[in-house]
Amino acid sequence: MKFSHSTSLSNFNTKKLGLVIALAFLTVELVIKIKGVVDENINVKLANLCFLLSLWMIVFSKEKVDDERFLAIRYYSFKKTIHLFLIAVMFDYMKGFKIAPIYFAIGTLMGYLIIYYFCVLFNPEFIFKEKTYEDKGNWRLLLVALFFIGLAFHILSEIMAI
């Protein structure tokens, strides 16, 4: 049974708009932190929601050419991102850090983007082959993605601390 080409993903221009909003948010945030102009009336919740909305627009939009390859990569990335999300929630629950749910949402969408674009860039063959055993390349990719997610959060925390 072949499905139609209709999808619940937004068109490609939505991704561009999301990138513009995310870059604008990060630029303004960096300028505020570097210049030292911190206003007490800045609503952090609203800023986080704007950033989450821009990530949402980037993640849930089509590529210029969406084919079966992108569908397989999108499914694989979604699956691994959910695994990372559940590990983060369990770790937070066990350690009692009480991290706000908005940061889990932002981290999940950022993790999805990192895994998705690594897979698009390096085109790992284990995604496209149906195997019944676990491939070592799968874990290597997950560890590299975890490293870059941790590095991104470290850089963002350093920027926010300026």
Query: Does residue 95 sit in the same domain as residue 132?
Result: yes
Query: Does residue 17 sit in the same domain as residue 82?
Result: no
- pTM of this structure: 0.69
Query: Does residue 44 sit in the same domain as residue 31?
Result: yes
Query: Does residue 59 sit in the same domain as residue 133?
Result: no
Q: Residue 112: its pLDDT value, please?
A: 92
In this model, does residue 56 exceed pLDDT 60? yes
* Tens-digit pLDDT profile for residues 99-127: 788 888 888 898 899 888 888 888 777 77
In this model, does residue 51 exceed pLDDT 50? yes
Could you say which of 41, 64, 87 is where a domain stops?
Answer: 64
Domain containing residue 38: 1-64
Query: Does residue 73 sit in the same domain as residue 137?
Result: yes
Mean of pLDDT values over 152-159? 71
Query: Does residue 145 sit in the same domain as residue 72?
Result: yes
Query: Does residue 96 sit in the same domain as residue 71?
Result: yes
Could you say which of 27, 43, 64 is where a domain stops?
Answer: 64
Query: Does residue 59 sit in the same domain as residue 73?
Result: no
pLDDT tier for residue 133 given thresholds of 50, 70 and 90: low
Domain count, the chain: 2
Q: What is the DSSP string of the chain?
A: -PPPS--SSBPHHHHHHHHHHHHHHHHHHHHHHHHT---TT--HHHHHHHHHHHHHHHHTB--SS--HHHHHHHHHHHHHHHHHHHHHHHHHHHHT----HHHHHHHHHHHHHHHHHHHHHH--GGGTS--SS--HHHHHHHHHHHHHHHHHHHHHHHHHH-
Query: Does residue 53 sit in the same domain as residue 71?
Result: no
Query: Does residue 112 sit in the same domain as residue 48?
Result: no
Q: Residue 131: its pLDDT value, please?
A: 55
Mean of pLDDT values over 150-156? 73
Query: Does residue 140 sit in the same domain as residue 85?
Result: yes
Give the residue with greater pLDDT, 132 vs 71.
71
Q: Residue 130: its pLDDT value, please?
A: 59
Query: Does residue 128 sit in the same domain as residue 59?
Result: no
